[in-house]
């Protein structure tokens, strides 16, 4: 009988791929985790207990068939593992790198609950798909038939691209419109290279183009082309524009020069990594080199800013967050990485005002956590008389994002929005109030996660196909 390759969690300890030393990694924008060697990936996969009710799978937004691809990896059947993994996930190597696994699949791993340390699901998912790319198993789309129907997708982020992939596989003519010069959305210009190296995203864009997806880049809908024109051109339209309006700081001096938006700071840095001309970076406006940096916020965007500033050569980097460490929205893994790289966190601290026409620093005040609010989270309260001055040459606001007002920007008053300004859409299909118009990703959920945008894109594309197939049958009758 073949030897049981699984259930090794008692004997084999959890081991992530090696992490580069902080002193080396803060010198560049390369990813910080190295790749598993084949034997290590097999060994770590073999820790899975193959439990009857896989909570990892139910807590993965894509319901990835995790136990199966872990078993196939443990057995050395890598191509089959890849086939199973890619059947439910459009970009497994991207999710393997940047999903907050501690809150999703790994956070619900049964052996973690029994104190043995979770299976390293994300690292194995990345390993499988990186090998698939190396071996040439990831092929450009070749639809069996070309169909006449067309879909216009506004926004080339993970939501739009996941929908493009599903539709194109069925032979639908797909055009993706994006205001940027490169596809990928926040994968390309928001998330820094040390979490997701850019060639990983670019090769996906190239594969989609090779598979027949048409990209119309440098094309801002509402400026270079009207929404109505796109609607008139295609049988269906998907809005996948994400959320980009920055929540603002309050208080005296909050309009000073040198107080910048996180998205501008990160985009400039990512563009620089591509070798683009970035005047705001070269002028020092969006460059932390030789400067004292204060980042305000406690989410993943704030973590990306502090770690980018360290790599640019800031003399000091501080993060001010109004709650404490255990109540921050960002991932604990990223806080630890940032601390290792030299970032100082000022917990329970909030800005009260700013000094200088060109900012010289933040008047900060200390907070304590009070009574829980309606959501159950403890509300921060100011400790009177606790003001102090935090010097800064650049202050980066990373307080989160809100949706732009699409009905006004696109002159489409009938496009329904929620009271938060997100586009009103059915969660399972993405259908909006307007016939033939769908919406997916952050513009529906508010600032969320890549894996949820992929899920939405896939669900929406399948709903459109169902609709189109129904219409094709009726037309033929």
**Which residues make up the interface to ligand SF4 (CB under 6 A)?**
60, 62, 64, 66, 89, 95-96, 99, 101, 104-105, 121-122, 125, 451
CA-nearest of 129, 141, 132 to 214 is 141
Applying the rule CB under 6 A, the residues between 119 and 158 that interact with ligand FAD are 154-158
**Dihedral angle computed from the Cα positions of residues 350, 354, 360 and 362, in that order, rounded to the nearest 10 degrees:** -10
| Partner interacting with residue 207 (select from ligand SF4, ligand FAD, none; CB below 5-8 Å by kind) | none
72 vs 268 by CB, closer to ligand FAD: 268
Rg (CA), the chain: 23
Q: Minimum CB separation from ligand SF4 for residue 95, in Å?
A: 4
Q: Minimum CB separation from ligand FAD for residue 51, in Å?
A: 25
Q: How far apart are CA 47 and CA 394, in angstroms?
A: 46
Cβ burial of 133 (10 Å; 0-12, 13-18, 19+) is middle
**Residue 431 carries which DSSP code?**
B
| Partner interacting with residue 152 (select from ligand FAD, ligand SF4, none; CB below 5-8 Å by kind) | none
In angstroms, the Cα distances linking 344 to 96, 317, 321, 361, 424 are 28, 6, 11, 16, 40
Q: Which of 9, 91, 180, 265 binds ligand FAD (CB under 6 A)?
A: 180
Q: How many residues does the chain have?
A: 477
Q: Which of 74, 121, 141, 191 binds ligand FAD (CB under 6 A)?
A: 191
> If binding is defined by CB under 6 A, does position 61 make contact with ligand FAD?
no
Q: Minimum CB separation from ligand FAD for residue 136, in Å?
A: 27
Helices within 353-405 (DSSP H only): none
Per CB under 6 A, the segment of 9-17, 33-41, 189-197, 207-215 that binds ligand FAD is: 189-197
Q: Minimum CB separation from ligand FAD for residue 356, in Å?
A: 27
64 vs 316 by CB, closer to ligand SF4: 64
> If binding is defined by CB under 6 A, does position 446 make contact with ligand FAD?
no
Cβ burial of 161 (10 Å; 0-12, 13-18, 19+) is buried
Site string for ligand FAD, 75-104 (x = CB under 6 A): -----------------------xx-----
Cβ–Cβ < 8 Å for 90, 204:
no
> If binding is defined by CB under 6 A, does position 335 make contact with ligand FAD?
no
Q: Minimum CB separation from ligand SF4 for residue 187, in Å?
A: 14
Per CB under 6 A, the segment of 27-35, 133-141, 215-223, 431-439 that binds ligand FAD is: 215-223
Packed helices 262-274 and 198-210: angle between N→C axes, nearest 10 degrees: 80
> If binding is defined by CB under 6 A, does position 208 make contact with ligand FAD?
no
In angstroms, the Cα distances linking 301 to 201, 308, 331, 334, 448 are 19, 10, 10, 10, 11
> If binding is defined by CB under 6 A, does position 178 make contact with ligand FAD?
yes
Q: Minimum CB separation from ligand SF4 for residue 428, in Å?
A: 19
Cβ-based neighbour number of residue 201 at 10 Å: 24
Cβ–Cβ < 8 Å for 354, 254:
yes
Q: What are 173's strand-pairing partners?
A: 150
Binding site residues, ligand FAD, CB under 6 A: 98-99, 154-160, 177-180, 185-186, 190-191, 195, 220-222, 240-242, 266, 300-301, 304, 441-442, 448-451, 453
């Amino acid at each position: 009988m073949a030897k049981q390759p699984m259930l090794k969690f008692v004997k084999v300890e959890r081991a992530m791929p090696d992490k580069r030393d902080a002193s080396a990694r803060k010198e560049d924008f390369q990813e910080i985790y190295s790749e598993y060697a084949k034997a290590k990936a097999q060994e770590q996969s073999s820790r899975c207990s193959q439990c009857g009710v896989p909570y990892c799978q139910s807590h993965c937004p894509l319901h990835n068939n995790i136990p199966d691809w872990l078993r196939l990896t443990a057995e050395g059947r890598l191509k089959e593992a890849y086939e199973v993994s890619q059947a439910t996930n459009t970009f497994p190597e991207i999710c393997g790198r940047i999903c907050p696994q501690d809150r999703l699949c790994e956070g619900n791993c049964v052996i973690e609950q029994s104190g043995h340390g979770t299976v390293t699901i994300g690292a194995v998912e990345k390993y499988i798909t990186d090998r698939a790319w190396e071996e040439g198993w990831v092929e450009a789309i070749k639809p069996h038939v070309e169909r006449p129907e067309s879909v216009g997708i506004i926004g080339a982020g993970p939501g739009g691209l996941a929908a493009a992939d599903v539709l194109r596989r069925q032979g639908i003519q797909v055009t993706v419109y994006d205001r940027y010069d490169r596809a990928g959305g926040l994968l390309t210009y928001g998330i820094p290279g040390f979490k997701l190296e850019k060639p990983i995203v670019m090769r996906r864009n190239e594969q989609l183009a090779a598979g027949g997806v048409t990209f119309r880049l440098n094309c801002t809908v509402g400026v270079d082309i009207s929404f109505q024109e796109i609607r008139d051109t295609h049988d269906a339209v998907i809005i996948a524009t994400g959320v980009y309006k920055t929540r603002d700081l309050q208080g005296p001096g909050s309009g000073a020069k040198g107080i910048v938006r996180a998205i501008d700071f990160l985009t400039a840095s990512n563009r620089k990594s591509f070798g683009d001309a970035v005047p705001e970076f070269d002028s020092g406006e969006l460059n932390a080199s030789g400067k004292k940096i204060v980042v305000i916020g406690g989410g993943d965007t704030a973590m990306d800013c502090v770690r980018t500033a360290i790599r640019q050569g800031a003399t000091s980097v501080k993060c001010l967050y109004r709650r404490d460490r255990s109540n921050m929205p960002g991932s604990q893994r990223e806080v630890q990485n940032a601390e290792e790289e030299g970032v100082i966190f000022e917990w329970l601290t909030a800005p009260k005002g700013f000094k200088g026409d060109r900012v010289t620093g933040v008047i900060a005040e200390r907070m304590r956590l009070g009574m829980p609010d309606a959501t159950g989270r403890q509300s921060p309260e100011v400790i009177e008389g606790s003001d102090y001055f935090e010097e800064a040459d650049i202050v980066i606001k990373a307080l989160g994002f809100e949706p732009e007002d699409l009905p006004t920007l696109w002159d489409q008053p009938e496009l329904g929005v929620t009271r938060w300004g997100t586009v009103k859409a059915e969660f399972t299909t993405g259908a909006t109030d307007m016939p033939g118009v769908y919406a997916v990703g952050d513009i529906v959920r508010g600032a969320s996660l890549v894996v949820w945008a992929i899920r939405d894109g896939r669900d929406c594309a399948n709903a459109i196909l169902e609709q189109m197939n129904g219409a094709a049958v009726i037309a033929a009758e």
